[in-house]
Structure 1
Amino acid sequence: MEVRQKRPGNKQRVVVVAMDDSKLSEESYTWYLNHLGREDDRVILIHCPEDGAILQSPIIFSGSNTADGITDDDRTHFRALMHMAKEKAKPHGIVDKVRSLSGNPAEMVIQAAKEENAAMIVVGSSGIGALRRTLLGCVSDYVLHHSPVPVILCRHKDPQHH
């Protein structure tokens, strides 16, 4: 595992990483850390619970209190995501923040990238076929076509995944 040093004279780079509870999201985040991450990066993990609940961690993301109506499962998944992100980023010296937003995940990733003045977005791509993507929609496809900044698409390591 290589930790890239700060580049003199460069301002802190903001990187948005789209996250859900999938193994693919975790692999995408790990790929970014191992291949592109710099110790002065500010990483914003974007999480959109499927039920639309809004979660905000006062530990990693300062903001309003946690919204009412959040299930114990939502809290458990969000805590697990925060813990994973913190542990993976620690050896890299990368600053992490987790934002959990309510809405269409693809649109929320784009919105967060704009709000955070991101330099790039990292998102996983499941490699679903064109027909399924057309019928079901695809977060990575939407992000790729609507992002105001470069997008890094990470494919699943296991070709039998989908």
Structure 2
Amino acid sequence: MEVENSMNEKRILVAVDESEESIHALSWCLANLFPQRNNVILFLLYVKPVPLYYSISAAGFPSSANVEATENYGKYRATSVMSRAQAVCKQINTNIKVEKKVGTGDAKEVICAAVKALEADILVVGCHDYGVLKRTLLGSVSDYCSKHVKCPTVVVKKPKTE
């Protein structure tokens, strides 16, 4: 994921996924963090989870048909999320330089590694706003990233609808 960084270029990394929260965070970022200048680059990062194989062959290995189907579905999800994010970018601000990146693995680890590799100046992530129990069981990607990256992190909460 290495990318050259010009001295005047501001680099903003937005983590996107299938959720409404991440699309809201992207929209918020586009509306609030982009100055009216051309030296900003927006990195959209989608992290594919490590695939879990559901059918095991008699020898104890994942079946090749299931591996291929799972990998194809992961590619489809990545393409779908990036297309949706790209559409939001074009709708809000058409002068933005956008680069799409896809990683695989544990989202919090991949996001932190991408911030470092891409030399991001700001990380923007959405917040699912889980309760204490769910956050304890699942962990919080935004909380982890804010503690482990060396750049400012903006955690965008989607307003609750009543």
- For Structure 1 versus Structure 2, the TM-score category normalised by the shorter chain is 0.7 to 0.9
* Structure 1: 4+ residue segments shifted above 6 A: none
CA contact (8 A) 2:29 2:124 kept: yes
Greater helix fraction, Structure 1 or Structure 2: 2
Provide structure 2 residue ranges, at least 5 long, that are not aligned to the other structure.
1-6, 53-66
- Could you tell me how far apart the structure 1 residues matched to 2:141 and 2:151 are? 16
Residue 116 (structure 1) shift: 0.6
Q: Equivalent residue of 2:48, what SS?
A: coil
**Among candidates 8, 21, 24, match of residue 24 of structure 1:** 21
Match runs of 1:1-162 below 5 Å: 11-38=8-35, 39-52=38-51, 69=68, 71-90=71-90, 91-158=93-160
CA RMSD, aligned part only? 2.2
Number of residue pairs aligned between Structure 1 and Structure 2: 137
CA contact (8 A) 2:51 2:71 kept: no
Structure of larger gyration radius: 2
- Could you tell me how far apart the structure 1 residues matched to 2:21 and 2:160 are? 10
The alignment's TM-score, normalised by the length of structure 1, stands at 0.74
> Identity percentage over the alignment?
25
Provide structure 1 residue ranges, at least 5 long, that are not aligned to the other structure.
1-9, 54-67
- Could you tell me how far apart the structure 2 residues matched to 1:121 and 1:108 are? 13
